Amino acid sequence: MRFSTAAAAVLPVLAASVSAQTNFQVQIGANQGLTFDPPTVTAAVGDTISFLFMAKNHTVTQSSFAAPCQSLAGGIDSGFQPVAAGATSVPSLTVTVNQTTPLWFYCKQTGHCEKGMVFAVNPTAAKSFAMFQGAANTSDPTSGAPASSAAASATSGAASGTSSGSTPSASASGTSTPNGAARTAASGAILAVAGLAAGLLL
Ligand SMILES: *[C@@H]1O[C@H](CO)[C@@H](O)[C@H](O)[C@H]1NC(C)=O
Ligand SMILES: *[C@@H]1O[C@H](CO)[C@@H](O)[C@H](O)[C@H]1NC(C)=O
Ligand SMILES: *[C@@H]1O[C@H](CO)[C@@H](O)[C@H](O)[C@H]1NC(C)=O
Ligand SMILES: [Cu+2]
């Protein structure tokens, strides 16, 4: 009987660890590069991904494995997020992952996708990031679809995500600093995770 008190005390700790969710930070265009950094994340349902637009004029736009540089109808699209040189705040977009099957993204600024500016959530051996980026490189700029049929066997029906808020407008007043001291995001939904995100960014 004396053990029952100890056992009860442990349970809330286990429950808390099971429900813990991760906020991933992905920098877009850091150091003036045509990059998502990191280029992939492995995320669980309920995890969030905060995209930080570090420089220049990029987007994070959902596509499909079959057509890496073509926007997916109804998919996530940040729109263009220009950042002035020397800016002390940068825009951000946070999305919530709603599936463990892969999600595919690119930057829709002219030429960037074809130069490899792509991003993936939960890529697999059969649909790898390297395959996706390779297909982006050979994309026909007029269609966004690969010029070869190498990646055309993929189906993309399940590749979609949920934006945690409305699509942010380019005029949103972000207060994020590139070094991550603090940030205010473009929508109320993003504000909800701003505290956690700022801590992890440091
Ligand atoms: C960002 O890029 C888009 C598409 O090329 C362009 O229409 C827009 O004017 C650019 N914004 C700025 C501030 O350069
Ligand atoms: C594809 O990648 C190669 C090697 O990195 C690069 O030289 C080429 O410009 C890329 N293709 C396009 C369309 O950007
Ligand atoms: C993820 O969200 C998208 C957009 O709301 C939805 O179409 C899709 O069915 C969702 N995926 C799952 C596995 O619920
Ligand atoms: Cu870009």
The DSSP symbol for 146 reads B
**28, 53, 57, 71: residue to mutate for ligand 1 pocket, most atoms within 8 A of CB:** 57
**pLDDT tens-place string over residues 91-119:** 999 999 999 999 999 999 999 999 999 99
- Tell me the CA distances in angstroms from 168 to 93, 95, 178, 185, 196, one per residue in order: 7, 11, 19, 9, 20
Query: Could you tell me if the CB of 69 is within 6 A of ligand 2?
Result: no
Which of 83, 79, 71 has its CA nearest to residue 166? Answer: 79
Type of residue at 107:
C
- Tell me the CA distances in angstroms from 170 to 58, 167, 176, 186, one per residue in order: 11, 9, 14, 9
Closest ligand 2 atom to Cα of 139: 13
Mean per-residue pLDDT, 142-165: 48
Closest ligand 3 atom to Cα of 99: 13
**pLDDT tens-place string over residues 36-72:** 999 999 999 999 999 999 999 999 999 999 999 999 9
Q: Residue 3 and residue 35: Cα distance in Å, rounded?
A: 54
Closest ligand 2 atom to Cα of 115: 14
- Tell me the CA distances in angstroms from 153 to 6, 33, 116, one per residue in order: 55, 31, 20
User: In the chain, what are the domain boundaries?
Assistant: 2-199
- Tell me the CA distances in angstroms from 88 to 47, 83, 85, one per residue in order: 28, 9, 9
Domain 2-199 annotated CATH 3.20.20.100? no
Give the DSSP H/E element, type plus range, for residue 40. strand 40-41
Query: Could you tell me if the CB of 137 is within 6 A of ligand 2?
Result: yes
Which ligand is closest in space to the CA of residue 85? 1
Report the pocket of ligand 1 as residue ranges, CB < 6 Å.
57, 80, 82, 109-110
pLDDT at residue 171 is higher than 50: no
- The residues, ordered by sequence, that sit 6+ positions from 153 with a Cβ below 8 Å of its Cβ are 66
**Cis amide prior to 12 (ω within 30 degrees):** no
Nearest CA to ligand 2 atom 13: 114
CA atoms within 13 A on the CB side of 60: 29
pLDDT at residue 4 is higher than 70: no
**pLDDT tens-place string over residues 19-34:** 589 999 999 999 999 9
User: Binning pLDDT at 50, 70 and 90, where does residue 166 land?
Assistant: very low
Mean per-residue pLDDT, 7-15: 44
User: Binning pLDDT at 50, 70 and 90, where does residue 143 land?
Assistant: confident
Closest ligand 3 atom to Cα of 45: 13
